[in-house]
Amino acid sequence: MPIDNTEHIAPPQNSTTFLMKRAVRDYVKNYTGQILLAMFFMMVAAAMTAGVAQLMQPILDDVLGGQRKELIFPVAASVFVVFLLRGTSTYMHMIIMNKVSQSIVADIQKDLFSRFMTLDLAFFHSNPSGQLISNVINDVNVMRNAVSDTLMGIGKSVLTLIFLSGVMIYQDWKLSIAAFLIFPFIAFFVAKLGRRLRKVSRNIQKEMGGLSDRLSQIFQGIRQVQAYGMENFERERAGTAITKVKKLNIQSVRIGNLSTPVNEILVGTVFFAIILYGGYEAAEGNITAGQLGAFLTAFTLAYEPMKKLAKLNNTLQLGLGAAERVFDLIDRQPEIENTPDAKTFESKDPAIIFDDVQFQYEAGKDKALKGISFTAEPGKVTALVGPSGGGKSTVMNLIPRFYDAQSGQVSIGGDDIRKLDLVSLRSHIALVSQDITIFDDTIGANIGYGRAGATQGEIIEAAKAAAAHEFIESFPEGYDTTVGEDGVKLSGGQRQRLSIARAILRDAPILLLDEATSALDNESEKLVQQALEKLEKGRTTLVIAHRLSTVQNADQILVLNEGQIIERGTHDELMELNGLYAKMYVTGLKH
């Protein structure tokens, strides 16, 4: 199900004040120096804007009136310098603030992705990948807009209003007080709209995540979509998701722009009053045309930052709606993590012991393991066989601590794995899963993923050991061939041989083979099986077998059914027992 972060955040922590303080504390303050420099240029730009308004008085009274010709050039030059300085300073603060906002986005995305890397498999199984991608890209970009616009708005718009207000008060303080009366009404209306926009923002980001996930699934499963003629069905499903996002965006714009007509009406009222009052005052000689013109210019120029500040809260609330989701994810703690006294795992020939282990994936569902106990001896092969759903993959998942057992104990090298450092534990494990992961990278890079810093020679030797070198060399670019997303340019057998080469390169003391040869043809399987037999020597190996013929030589075979070990022994012993294993072997039942 998509993430609904509102369930995880206590009410005080989703307030505007709390979220803004956190954004400033964790990210914005890191760029204080650059922000202060940008504020300096904003102040210059704001002062020059006020200068434009103030210059209207000598322009109207002295220059255009033709009464003081000696002021024409100085006034004209002053206007030019003001616009030059305003343009230059505006450019400078926009460049600086863009760099700051982009840096903040990168920081948040790095923190969010880093948090994802610490979370356990259960989190990823319950949250679609498209939703998580949307959190990293869409949500954070909405936050970027909010941070950028807020800093710019608070900076330039407020400073501009302050300088222009000074011009207005200097020209006529009574008119200024009348003009300022509209601000409380605008502030009240903007705050009301902001609350509605926050809710819409949460819904937009949720639906964007759903759309990303839907598109990701369609693209990944395009073979099935086309093979089963489901193009129209997927068009409708994607179209429905797109329409939801469209409607929410329309709603967001409609709500966000409600402030425009209200502001126009209020400002129009003030203009009416200024012209009415000022006109009569000018007629009576109490104010000059230049003074009234300067006041009107200052108010007109102040209207733009007033509109920006009115819309600023809209952008801010949209960003805070996304921030709730992002901060909730950053705050999530993994269920599986190191204990304070975690021990570095260093054993070269570890035994793996399961002692009365019980495990269930979700509360209320049947247990996947029901009191499993066995020992996988160092240097020996332990095979797990049995019907689908018997608990074989669950046993495998507990060894690298992808999950933790609810009761019982899993020990490796004499230590409870819950007391071992996760990184050091997993660095001693090589896994070949039936769910093969091939990255959109070169063949060499995919094999080299097994061990950081591996040389090209080591990668080639691992490929040869996995019977992959020959087909790799058949590609024009050899090991530099890019294989596409999930290895789409490779056959199933080729993909599996690359994953086996990756495990061979890792050279770990614990080897987990989860149906490692299931996608291979007979010839390739024979070659890879020989390579695996060499790899298994001196290692603690657990194998989930797709074909029982591949585990006949295992030192120990465990038969799992409905979460329990119902038979154990060697191939010959189990055949003599004439139980489930013997039946599966004779009938060739796939499991």
DSSP string computed for 506-542: H--SEEEEESTTTT--HHHHHHHHHHHHHHHTTSEEE
Answer yes or no: do 32 and 120 share one domain.
Answer: yes
Position 404 pLDDT exceeds 50 = yes
Handedness of CA 505, 507, 510, 516 (dihedral sign): positive
Answer yes or no: do 160 and 214 share one domain.
Answer: yes
Answer yes or no: do 123 and 247 share one domain.
Answer: yes
Cα distances (Å, whole numbers) of residue 427 to 82, 511, 536: 64, 11, 17
Position 261 pLDDT exceeds 50 = yes
Residue 74 covered by a domain: yes
Domain end residue (candidates: 261, 296, 331): 331
Place of tokens 């020059």: 48
Answer yes or no: do 386 and 246 share one domain.
Answer: no
Residue 465 covered by a domain: no
CA geometry: angle 384, 385, 391, nearest 5 deg: 75
pLDDT of residue 587: 80
Residue 468 covered by a domain: no
User: Where is average pLDDT lowest: 27-36, 178-187, 466-475?
Assistant: 178-187
Query: Residue 560, SS3?
Result: strand
Domain end residue (candidates: 264, 296, 331): 331
Answer yes or no: do 197 and 325 share one domain.
Answer: yes
C-beta of residue 450 within 8 angstroms of C-beta of residue 462 = yes
pLDDT of residue 1: 33
Q: Give buried/exposed letters for 418-448 (b at 16+ CB in 10 A, else e).
A: bebebeebbebbbbbbbebebeeebbbebbb
The domain of 578 spans 349-428+544-591
Answer yes or no: do 408 and 312 share one domain.
Answer: no
Number of separate domains in the chain: 2
Highest-confidence segment of 137-151, 402-416, 422-436, 495-509? 402-416
Residue 495 covered by a domain: no
Residue 515 covered by a domain: no
C-beta of residue 52 within 8 angstroms of C-beta of residue 301 = yes
pLDDT of residue 4: 43
Domain end residue (candidates: 296, 331, 366): 331
Residue 39 covered by a domain: yes
Place of tokens 């609330």: 317
CATH number of the domain bearing residue 583: 3.40.50.300
Answer yes or no: do 359 and 272 share one domain.
Answer: no
Q: Which of the pair, 110 or 10, is modelled with greater confidence?
A: 110
Highest-confidence segment of 111-115, 178-182, 311-315, 512-516? 111-115
Answer yes or no: do 325 and 380 share one domain.
Answer: no
| Mean pLDDT (the chain, rounded) | 79
Residue 291 covered by a domain: yes
Position 519 pLDDT exceeds 50 = yes
Residues 534-585 pLDDT 10s: 778 888 999 988 678 778 888 999 999 988 999 999 999 999 999 898 888 8
Three-state SS for 442-489 is EHHHHHHCCCCCCCHHHHHHHHHHCCCHHHHHCCCCHHHCECCHHHCC
pLDDT of residue 135: 81
Answer yes or no: do 280 and 354 share one domain.
Answer: no
Answer yes or no: do 293 and 385 share one domain.
Answer: no
Q: pTM of the full predicted structure?
A: 0.71
pLDDT of residue 12: 46
User: Rounded to the nearest 5°, which phi and psi values hold at 356?
Assistant: 50, 50
Q: Which of the pair, 488 or 85, is modelled with greater confidence?
A: 85
Answer yes or no: do 127 and 217 share one domain.
Answer: yes
Residue 110 covered by a domain: yes
C-beta of residue 556 within 8 angstroms of C-beta of residue 570 = yes
CATH number of the domain bearing residue 296: 1.20.1560.10
Highest-confidence segment of 125-134, 280-289, 328-337? 328-337
What is the number of helices (H) and of strands (E) in the chain?
A: 22, 10
Please name the residues in contact with 240: beta carbons below 8 A apart, sequence gap of 6 or more.
Answer: none
pLDDT of residue 9: 40
Highest-confidence segment of 105-114, 267-276, 279-288, 547-556? 105-114
Answer yes or no: do 47 and 120 share one domain.
Answer: yes
Position 7 pLDDT exceeds 50 = no
